[in-house]
Structure 1
Amino acid sequence: MPHSRHRFDRLLDLLAATARERADIIGLAGMGSTADRARVDEWSDHDFALITLPGAEDGYRHDLSWLPASDAIALSIVEHHGGVKVVYDDGHVLEFGVTALAGLDSWSGNAYDVLVDKGGVEEAFAALVARPLPTGPRDDAADVGLVLTQVLIGMGRLRRGEVLSAGESIRSEALAHLLRALGRRLPGDQSRLDTLDPRRRFELVHPELGARIAHALSGDLETGAQELLRIAEQQLAPGWAEFPQRGLAAVRARLGWS
């Protein structure tokens, strides 16, 4: 089956039909690009939430016969938090969560599209996206401070010989905080950025800067870490009194980068 918009929509229609037919399913909602289908391309997976009656959740995680073309499932995983990932023989991916309506009280999200609602689903998702994000309220100074601390911690681990852990601190944690601050403070279409994962679509809004960051982190880790701090200072410090210049100087001095 080709990865195409037609196939994407067809599979979504089949999921919705199943949700309507089954008495223990009360709702289906698309998330991510499954909610904002203008972004769908050949690499888009189906990201959705299945809302069931209480007690029915686990059955839909472990018995996947309800999914379209279930005989073509090559791999499935139930994650520790109850989310499910499915890979078909042709490589297409489904990612979904299963919950009773009350379980949505603990979820976070942004874009959604309720496809099936047998009662209370639209209201629950409206409340879901209105809740504060798990990252807390906007705090650009804290995010930049965390860039500095994660670079310092990561470099300490690198010099100790903990290369894998160092890479996580710098290429993942420091990067995420930097992209969050850049995405909020730089001019650009912020509506295209993902409020849950600051890495998503950053380079579509800031292509040159995204390419610079990607290049910096593709090679030597110490060189990349220095470049992250350079980018933070160049892009964020001018005209911003809260930029932590003293902290930046301390990190550079400790690492011998002054």
Structure 2
Amino acid sequence: MHPTLQRLDEIAGRVAARDDTIALLGLGSAGAQRGRLDDHSDLDFFLVVEEGATSRYATETDWLATTCPLVWSFAHERHGRKALFADGIFLEYGVFTVPELRRVPFRGARVVWRRPDAPPGLTESDAPVPRPPFDTVEFHLNEALANLYVGLHRDLRGEHLSAARFIQGHAVDRVIALLRLSAGEPPYRDVFDDSRRVERTYPPHVLPLEGMVPGYLGNAAAARVILDWLSVRFPVPPPLREALESLLQRKIGRPA
């Protein structure tokens, strides 16, 4: 067994001996998609507890440290923590009651341990996964173009960091969404983050990330690659293409 999964089983053994715990659910590569687990995977899980026990398990770590010493931890939200074991296993977890769990959007959970009287359906969430307003080619194409337009203006203003987020971040996200819609659902897709595992799914000649994400001072070059990529595959409205070309010319004409 992989050490990460073995650690999760050890944690399950500890919480199973307590009266105020109901279930332990593995998530991500420790959940239903264990086939993608490797030496770089985090340990993600939910602990389901009785009413009144959430705060204790979310703020205290003694129940974890009995499996291996913790060298660092912090609360990243009201219901959970991120932490590092002494042997290098990094974990992120949330602690919820059953009613709270029903309101949390998640997918692909696996029951590692459950109390015999635990309610059914703990691996299914009633909460919808956050999505963009429209998951269509038209939306993602036009949103990508809008990101390029806003990003190039900010780059010309000297706001290179904000520009990078629009061009090399938001616009690239839309490119990945367009690939998903045109090429089919990728294996092991993370519904919360489409950027996960794209390098395994799309080779460089399909998704030229090196050109689309060149770095802090590479916004114009990134916009050029993204605009050309979109123009070859989708009908870019001529007025917007002309506006983007004009912005790119203004950027190129400026001294470095």
TM range (shorter): 0.7 to 0.9
Q: Distance in 2 between matches of 1:84 and 1:254?
A: 48
Residue equivalent to 2:179: 182
From the two aligned structures, give the one with the greater helix fraction: 1
Q: Distance in 1 between matches of 2:222 and 2:82?
A: 32
8 Å Cα contact 2:54/2:96 also seen in 1: yes
**Deviation, structure 1 residue 247:** 6.3
Residue type of the alignment partner of 1:245 = P
Q: Distance in 2 between matches of 1:179 and 1:154?
A: 18
Residue equivalent to 1:63: 60
Residue type of the alignment partner of 1:58 = S
**Deviation, structure 1 residue 226:** 1.7
Residue equivalent to 1:240: none
- How has the CA–CA distance of structure 1 residues 113 and 12 changed in structure 2, closer, same or farther, with 3 Å as cutoff? same
Residue type of the alignment partner of 2:165 = E
**Deviation, structure 1 residue 113:** 0.7
- How has the CA–CA distance of structure 1 residues 148 and 211 changed in structure 2, closer, same or farther, with 3 Å as cutoff? closer
3-state secondary structure, aligned to 1:123: coil
Aligned length: 245
- How has the CA–CA distance of structure 1 residues 256 and 215 changed in structure 2, closer, same or farther, with 3 Å as cutoff? closer
3-state secondary structure, aligned to 1:79: strand
1:141 to 138, 141, 145: 138
**Deviation, structure 1 residue 135:** 0.8
- How has the CA–CA distance of structure 1 residues 211 and 232 changed in structure 2, closer, same or farther, with 3 Å as cutoff? closer
**Deviation, structure 1 residue 67:** 0.6
2:70 to 45, 64, 73: 73
Residue equivalent to 1:7: 3
The two structures, once aligned, show a CA RMSD in angstroms of 2.5
Residue type of the alignment partner of 2:140 = D
8 Å Cα contact 2:24/2:112 also seen in 1: yes
3-state secondary structure, aligned to 2:204: helix
- In the alignment, structure 1 residue 37 sits paired with structure 2 residue 22: no
- How has the CA–CA distance of structure 1 residues 147 and 81 changed in structure 2, closer, same or farther, with 3 Å as cutoff? farther
Q: Distance in 1 between matches of 2:76 and 2:223?
A: 32
3-state secondary structure, aligned to 1:48: strand
Residue type of the alignment partner of 2:79 = G
Residue type of the alignment partner of 2:149 = L
8 Å Cα contact 2:152/2:248 also seen in 1: no
**Deviation, structure 1 residue 149:** 1.3
More displaced 10-residue stretch of structure 1: 211-220 or 243-252: 243-252
3-state secondary structure, aligned to 1:84: strand
- How has the CA–CA distance of structure 1 residues 50 and 252 changed in structure 2, closer, same or farther, with 3 Å as cutoff? same
2:241 to 231, 239, 249: 249
Structure-to-structure mapping, 1:201-240, within 5 angstroms = 201-209=197-205, 212-219=208-215, 220-234=218-232, 236-237=233-234
Residue equivalent to 1:126: 124
Identity %: 24
8 Å Cα contact 2:26/2:109 also seen in 1: yes
The runs of 5 or more residues in structure 2 that have no matched partner are 251-256
Q: Distance in 1 between matches of 2:79 and 2:231?
A: 40
**TM-score of the aligned structures, taking structure 2 as reference length:** 0.84
C-alpha deviations, 1:181-231, integer Å up to 9, x for none? 2122125x6233222101001111112247621343124221012212222
3-state secondary structure, aligned to 2:111: strand
**Deviation, structure 1 residue 146:** 1.5
Residue type of the alignment partner of 2:219 = L
C-alpha deviations, 1:95-132, integer Å up to 9, x for none? 1111111112332222111122334554143244xx54
**Deviation, structure 1 residue 81:** 5.0
